Structure 1
């Protein structure tokens, strides 16, 4: 189950990035909804993945030690999911702004996409099969 969820989480990442680029360059209610809702799916997959991931569960068992040494476990326990949640909030804020016709929607979407780009584990395989 862990491998299947990891594969799905990885594939949805590319959809989120594609919709993120679409909404930044052409902000609108439709593109914003695709971005925000696909990102919501990605975060839900990530939360479920955290519950079944041996890396995440092992890191939680030794949280103090993990937080004292930089590395892959610390990245996933402390940084990866926080960036995703903040980006999710920014994406939904942007969606709300674009639905109200406010010009600052693009800023929210751009911030969400930028934070996502910083939160993606680029040191991991780009495609998992």
Structure 2
């Protein structure tokens, strides 16, 4: 189950990044909804993955050690999932602005996409088969 969730989490990432780019270029309701709701799916997959992943469970067991060690351990113990949650909030705030026709949706989508790009583990395989 862990491998299947990791596979899905990896592939949904690319869809979310494309939807984020679309929402940035056209800050309207439909692109914003695809971005925000795709990111919601990505976060849900990540949370479920955290519960079944032996790697993440090991990080939680030695959280303080992972934070001191830095590198990949710290990235997944703290930065990866916090960045995803922050991006999720920004994307939904952008969607709310786009739905109401208020200015600022593009800025919120840009911030969400920026945080998301910083939260992607680019040092891991970009495509899992």
With the shorter chain as reference, the TM-score category is over 0.9
Residue 64, structure 1, aligned to residue 68, structure 2: no
Q: Distance in 1 between matches of 2:18 and 2:125?
A: 18
Question: Please, which moves more after superposition, 11-20 or 64-73?
Answer: 64-73
Q: Distance in 2 between matches of 1:64 and 1:21?
A: 36
What SS class does the counterpart of residue 101 from structure 2 fall into?
coil
Query: Following TM superposition, by how much is the alpha carbon of 1:115 offset from its aligned partner in structure 2, in angstroms?
Result: 0.5
Q: Distance in 2 between matches of 1:79 and 1:128?
A: 22
Q: Which residue of 2 aligns with 1:104?
A: 104
Q: Which residue of 1 aligns with 2:121?
A: 121
Over the aligned positions, Cα root-mean-square deviation in angstroms equals 0.6
Q: Is the 8 A contact 1:67 1:74 kept in 2?
A: yes
Q: Is the 8 A contact 1:19 1:34 kept in 2?
A: yes
Runs of 4+ in 1 over 2 A off after TM superposition: none
Q: May I ask how many residue pairs the two structures share in their alignment?
A: 129
For residues 77-124 of structure 1, what are the alpha-carbon distances to aligned partners after superposition, in whole Å with 9 as ceiling and x for unaligned? 110000000000000000000111012110000000000000000000
Q: Distance in 2 between matches of 1:76 and 1:3?
A: 17
Q: TM-score, normalised by structure 2?
A: 0.98
- Consecutive unaligned residues of structure 1, counting only runs of 5 or more, are none
Q: TM-score, normalised by structure 1?
A: 0.98
For residues 40-91 of structure 1, what are the alpha-carbon distances to aligned partners after superposition, in whole Å with 9 as ceiling and x for unaligned? 0000000000011111100111111111111212111110000000000000
